[in-house]
Amino acid sequence: MGALAGFVRFAEAVNDYVGRVVAWLTLATVLICATVVFIRYALHTGFVWMQELYVWTHAAAFMLGAGYTLMANKHVRVDILYARASPVKQAWLDLISTFVFLFPWIFLLIYFTWPHVTNSWAIWETSSQVGGMPGLYIMKTIILAFAGLMLLQGLAMVGRCILVINGLGHLAPPRAIAGLGE
């Protein structure tokens, strides 16, 4: 079980690091958007690539930060049963919902996205807008990175649940390691 706890620690460290790094994309999004507005209304001009850039930075922050959000338990949850459950019952609910909802969705996303990403890389796809951003293939790849980070965190959740269910929750790394507290 020590190896399982080590995997949980590793997976959560990856999502913690990625989440903290991409959080800065939110600031970039706001600054780019403000610049677009200033250029448009003060200078009466605009750049299509810049308008696309703040949409892309927002999308990247959202998708790459989703694993961190799941790790921090800040995703949307209906607490009808969960809030009143014991930690072991919560672990069972998390385990079942991860296998029933998260994993199938992630595998379908990867299955249906993979051909689009590989085709996009094959043609070095760019924006369809004249003057738009180059490198649309990178944005499409972020969808696969999103799926990978969510899958990694889902596996970490399964590991954490197994530890808690078996009475070994103390082996699971505390959430404070990720700076999250309980």
- Concatenating the DSSP letter of every residue in 32-61 gives HHHHHHHHHHHSS---HHHHHHHHHHHHHH
Sign of CA dihedral 68, 69, 74, 79: negative
Task: Show me where the domains of the chain are located.
Answer: 2-172
What was the pLDDT predicted at 177? 45
- Tokens at 70, concatenated: 């799941």
Is 146 in a helix, a strand, or coil?
Answer: helix
Task: Supply the pTM of this predicted model.
Answer: 0.90
Among 158, 6, 171, which Cα is nearest to 70's? 158
Tens digit of pLDDT for each residue in 114-149?
999 999 999 999 999 999 999 999 999 999 999 999
Euclidean distance between CA atoms 110 and 146, whole angstroms:
10
Of 117, 110, 82, 109, the closest CA to residue 96 belongs to 82
* Angle subtended at Cα 97 by Cα 178 and Cα 81, rounded to the nearest 5 degrees: 90
* Segments of the chain with pLDDT less than 70: 78, 175-182
